[in-house]
């Protein structure tokens, strides 16, 4: 059988189906590379029409397992962030096909936008012709997948041109697992709004993780205002699944079970229903109360721990403490404010004593000392922070200036007498 390009095949299929069905059927390869198709391996209405025509002409079934059609209903109709709009290939895989006598072909995994290397050979995928540097939006007119569609040059360069990539891209393992599930013909998607269901279940089980996942690739404000269910692209779903600690395949197969698995990163949720929201035991409130009362027994002159620090030691958040113990929190913060004021007044008193001490005056007010250096020196001697030292210096200078004015007034008054 003579190989033909996909555009010729589309033309032949259009003519044949038009005669078979008695109506005009139009198949145009260029429509596959729009944002809603992104190639024959993608998904969408135009891809399904093309695959159905090939299956009908060949009398076979199952060609959909070579595309993303089985999971397309759960993805965003705009396939731009899911599938490449041009070809990508591993030169070493093509070489292996030639050596083994097999016909070279494009792998489904290579068409995914998130995949940038060959997992088998760990080299970067090539996306442009080695000779002319043109992206391969189409196949060669001869139908040979190893030739450039524009200059007819070979798409396999020298072995020395291979670029090693030892580190896998984000989600390579997850996408490889997903492609294997699609190729096996299993029913991957059971819920068209799989990720929306997963997100809701995640909020019910472990809301902190749900908040992190929701913050990855947020939907637009208008969509949130309408309450619309926005299906994610494959790239967005991959990033959100990575944030939740589950795989894309788990979300597509059973979103509620996937949400339970994500919750296990924080607590063991095997025995908890998916819709049950986790509540902290009431004993924690009493533990926090006792910890706060123990701190309040300290004198007002002693600075107690910050509320956030105390809550963290008890295994809860500051908001949790404020919600359950509002009156006690008010007393607690009042104690901290009083201790802070007492500490500041004590530091100011020590600074004033040092500034008025004759033994330190010459050291502090020696020639060349700037106010900044003076504040640092005073803070070290008084064992306080620089901010309090600067305040003490300002007060001391104002007091000294007032004393000089009062002295001049006494001189004028005595001379007039």
Whether residue 388 contacts residue 351, with contact meaning beta carbons closer than 8 Å, is answered with yes
Calpha distance 384→344 (Å, rounded):
8
Residues 229-263 have pLDDT tens digits of: 778 888 888 888 888 888 888 899 888 888 888 76
pLDDT of residue 43: 82
Could you tell me the pTM of the whole model?
A: 0.59
User: By the 8 A CB rule, do 271 and 207 touch?
Assistant: no
Mean pLDDT of 43-49: 80
Cβ atoms of 241 and 199 closer than 8 Å: no
C-alpha–C-alpha distance, residues 72 and 81, integer Å: 13
pLDDT, tens only, 251-294: 998 888 888 887 654 444 444 444 444 456 667 888 888 988 99
């Amino acid at each position: 059988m003579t190989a033909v390009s996909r555009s010729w095949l589309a033309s032949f299929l259009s003519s044949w189906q038009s005669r078979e069905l008695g109506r005009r059927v139009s198949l145009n390869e260029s429509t596959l590379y729009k944002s809603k198709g992104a190639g024959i391996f993608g998904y969408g209405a135009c891809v399904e029409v093309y695959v159905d025509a090939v299956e009908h002409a060949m009398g076979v079934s199952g060609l959909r397992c070579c595309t993303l059609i089985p999971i397309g209903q759960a993805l965003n109709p705009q396939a731009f962030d899911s599938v490449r709009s041009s070809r990508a290939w591993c030169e070493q895989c093509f070489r292996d096909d030639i050596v083994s006598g097999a016909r070279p072909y494009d792998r489904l995994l290579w068409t995914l936008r998130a995949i940038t290397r060959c997992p088998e050979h760990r080299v970067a995928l090539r996306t442009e012709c080695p000779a002319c540097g043109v992206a391969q939006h189409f196949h060669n007119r001869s139908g040979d997948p190893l030739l450039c569609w524009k200059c007819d040059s070979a798409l396999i360069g020298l072995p020395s041109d291979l670029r090693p990539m030892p580190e896998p891209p984000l989600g390579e393992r997850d996408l490889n697992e997903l492609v294997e599930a699609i190729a096996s013909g299993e029913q991957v998607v059971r819920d068209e709004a799989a990720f929306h269901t997963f997100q809701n279940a995640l909020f019910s089980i472990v809301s902190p993780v749900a908040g992190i996942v929701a913050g990855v690739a947020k939907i637009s404000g208008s969509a949130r205002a309408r309450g619309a269910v926005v299906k994610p692209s494959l790239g967005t779903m991959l990033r959100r699944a990575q944030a939740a600690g589950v795989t894309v395949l788990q979300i597509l197969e059973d979103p509620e079970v996937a949400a339970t698995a994500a919750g296990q990163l924080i607590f063991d949720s095997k025995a908890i229903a998916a819709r049950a929201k986790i509540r902290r035991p009431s004993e924690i409130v009493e533990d926090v109360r006792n910890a706060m009362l123990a701190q309040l027994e300290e004198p007002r002159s002693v600075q107690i721990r910050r509320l956030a620090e105390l809550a963290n030691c008890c295994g809860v958040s500051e908001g949790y403490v404020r919600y359950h113990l509002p009156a006690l929190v008010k007393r607690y913060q009042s104690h901290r404010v009083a201790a802070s004021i007492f500490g500041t007044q004590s530091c100011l008193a020590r600074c004033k004593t040092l500034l008025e001490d004759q033994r330190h005056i010459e050291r502090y007010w020696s020639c060349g000392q700037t106010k900044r250096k003076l504040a640092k020196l005073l803070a070290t001697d008084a064992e306080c922070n620089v901010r309090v030292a600067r305040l003490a210096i300002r007060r001391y200078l104002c007091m000294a200036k007032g004393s000089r004015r009062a002295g001049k007034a006494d001189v004028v008054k005595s001379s007039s007498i």
